[in-house]
Amino acid sequence: MQVTVTVNGTTGSHDVETRMLLVHYLREVRGLTGTNVGCDTTSCGACTVLLNGESVKSCTMLAAQADGEEITTIEGMAAPDGTLHPIQEAFREHHGLQCGFCTPGMVMAIASFLKEHPDPTEAEVREGLEGNLCRCTGYHNIVQAALAVARAGELVS
């Protein structure tokens, strides 16, 4: 079937199998390999992208369901000149990653979370990231990064 999806502001139309998952569409058809597949069972959050601004797990959505919608992936976060998005900058500053595998999903989940909770407590950040697993960091610095962005009030477009 034909799907037309706007990804990071660029609209593209492609003929895909109806059973193609959104994450495979992003990686294989659109060539955007920043979105990772971790568990493939809706648990780890590595595949998190924004659907019309809200976090979703792209391993549990069909490309067909994104037809006509707007998707933002990690590649859409930094400015065109390479300036990091405030969330990415906070991850760098607070050492919010080690291997980096969970990071794209974490950044997208935080972008959505901060839009819904502009002034969160630490406990709210931890609960808000319950859909994202990290095998390396112990979460502490990820939570600090999210709190730093919220405190700086540099919100998230």
Partner 1 sequence: MIPASFEYRRAGSVEEALGWLAEDPDSTKLLAGGHSLLPLMKLRLATPGVLVDVGRIPGLNYVRDDGDHVAIGALTRHRDLEVSDVARGHVPLLAHVAGQVGDPQVRHRGTIGGSLAHGDPASDLPAAVLALDGTMVVDGPRGRREVQAADFFRGFLETALAPDEMLTEVRVHKAPAGWGFQKFNRRAQDWAIVGVAAVVNGDARVALVNMGPTTLRARATEEALDAGANIADAAARAAEGLDPPSDLNGSAEYRRHLATVLVRRALEEATAARG
Contacts to partner 1 by CB under 8 A: 1, 17-21, 24, 40-43, 45, 48, 51, 54-57, 60-62, 64-65, 67, 109, 112-113, 116, 127-128, 130-132
Write the burial class of residue 59 (CB in 10 Å: 0-12 exposed, 13-18 middle, 19+ buried). buried
Give CA separation, 127 vs 63, 116, 133, in Å: 28, 13, 12
Rounded to whole angstroms, how far apart are CA atoms 24 and 64? 12
Q: In this structure, how many other beta carbons lie within 10 angstroms of the beta carbon of residue 142? A: 28
Q: In this structure, how many other beta carbons lie within 10 angstroms of the beta carbon of residue 70? A: 16
H or E segment at 4? strand 2-7
Cite the beta strand spans of 33-146 per DSSP E.
48-51, 54-57, 70-72
Binding ligand FES (rule: CB under 6 A), the pick from 46, 114, 129, 147 is 46
Rounded to whole angstroms, how far apart are CA atoms 118 and 35? 25
* Contact string 9-28 vs ligand FES (x = CB under 6 A): --------------------
Select the binding partner of residue 112 from ligand FAD, ligand FES, partner 1, none (C-beta < 5 to 8 A, by kind). partner 1
Looking at beta carbons only, is 4 or 140 nearer to ligand FES?
A: 140
Binding ligand FAD (rule: CB under 6 A), the pick from 8, 29, 37, 43 is 43
Stretch touching ligand FES by CB under 6 A, among 83-91, 93-101, 115-123, 145-153? 93-101
Select the binding partner of residue 98 from partner 1, ligand FES, ligand FAD, none (C-beta < 5 to 8 A, by kind). ligand FES
Looking at beta carbons only, is 17 or 83 nearer to partner 1?
A: 17
